[in-house]
Amino acid sequence: MLKRTLSFSNPFHLSTKLEQLVIFNKETEDEVTRPIEDIAYLVLDHPQITFTNALMQVLAEKNVAVIICDNKHHPTSMLMNLDVHHIQAQRFGVQLAASEPLKKQLWQQTVKAKIRNQAKVLELAGQKGLALYNLSNKVNSGDTANCEAQAARIYFKQLFGPTFQRFREGPPPNPSLNYSYSIIRAAVARALAGSGLLVTLGIHHHNKYNNFALADDIMEPFRPFTDWLVYRQLQSIPDYHNLTKERKADYLQLLQSDCLYKEGTSPLMVAIEYVTANLAKCFEGTSKKLEYPELPEL
């Protein structure tokens, strides 16, 4: 079953009763309920939202990721279950024991998939992606030639214009990219935890201050999905510079959109879970290839 993403941008009090999410509107005093088992993500985007500890416990048990936004409406933290898989200790063990050659091969496959998805975005935008496809074929084990960075220099300027610079505090469309990447990062982190993997231990990213290093690794091929959505908004929305409530809702709905995975079509949220389950098999030695989804045709 495809689970839902709920976003709250007004003053609500959230609690639980009989494994239902109880939503109380502080302004209108209306109350509704939603089954917690149907929820994958809860986005809290208002400073006056309150919730009970009992609700947080039930959400953790059901592997619902709770995303909390700051006063600029950007996702800044996430609450998730630390004990969600029945053989988590075993999965942690094989992940910790993974050899450097294996991690380098997994990163090679990840970078190749990212660059190929970037090339597909350019083609969907009516531009040429051949240079990126050629670059994806040059990615070696561990990407020691840093083809990922080479591709980024070509890709972003070709997609968003020659003056565009991708950095966190940059002008639009950077804020939209930041927000949409945060949603993808949360989705990947939730799926990794659901697959019994240690989100802190990356295959490439290594930073003692980063508690989501593996999520930052595995989310890379998914970034182009959000790039394509941001690009389409940029082409069609006059007041694009404003990161509105409606625009943020579009980024949340991206997780329900279709992608191409293996030989079929799948919602992106489900494909992310397939990828993390496949990653666990790679660590266990029962799979040798880490396969990622591709963007669908128009």
Alpha carbons 76 and 90: distance in angstroms, whole number: 30
User: Is the confidence at residue 21, as pLDDT, over 90?
Assistant: yes
Cα–Cα distance between 241 and 237 in angstroms, integer? 9
Q: Which residues does residue 39 pair with via DSSP β-bridges, in sequence order?
A: 4
Q: What are the sequence ranges of the domains in the chain?
A: 4-79, 88-284
Arithmetic mean of pLDDT, 179-207: 91
Report the b/e string of 216-239 with b at 16+ CB within 10 A.
bbbbbbbbbbbbbbbbebbeeeee
Q: Of all residues in the chain, what percent carry a pLDDT higher than 90?
A: 71
**What phi and psi values does residue 144 have, to the nearest 5 degrees?**
-65, -20
Amino acid, res. 13: H
C-alpha span between 193 and 11 (Å, rounded): 30
Reported pTM: 0.89
pLDDT, mean of residues 257-285: 95
Q: Measure the CA–CA gap between 188 and 195, rounded to whole angstroms.
A: 10
Of the candidates 228, 230, 270, 221, the residue with the CA atom closest to the CA atom of residue 248: 230
Return the CATH number of the domain spanning residue range 4-79.
3.100.10.20
pLDDT digits (tens, 9 = 90+) for 29-60: 999 999 999 999 999 999 999 999 999 999 98
Whole-angstrom distance, CA of residue 163 vs CA of residue 142 = 30
Q: What is the pLDDT of residues 95-117, one digit of tens each?
A: 999 999 999 999 999 999 999 99
What pLDDT score does 226 carry?
96
Cα angle value 124/247/187 (rounded, 5°): 75
- Residues 67-92 have pLDDT tens digits of 998 887 778 888 877 666 667 788 99
Q: Where are the alpha helices (DSSP H) in 100-212?
A: 100-124, 130-136, 147-160, 174-194
Per CATH, the number for 88-284 is: 1.20.120.920
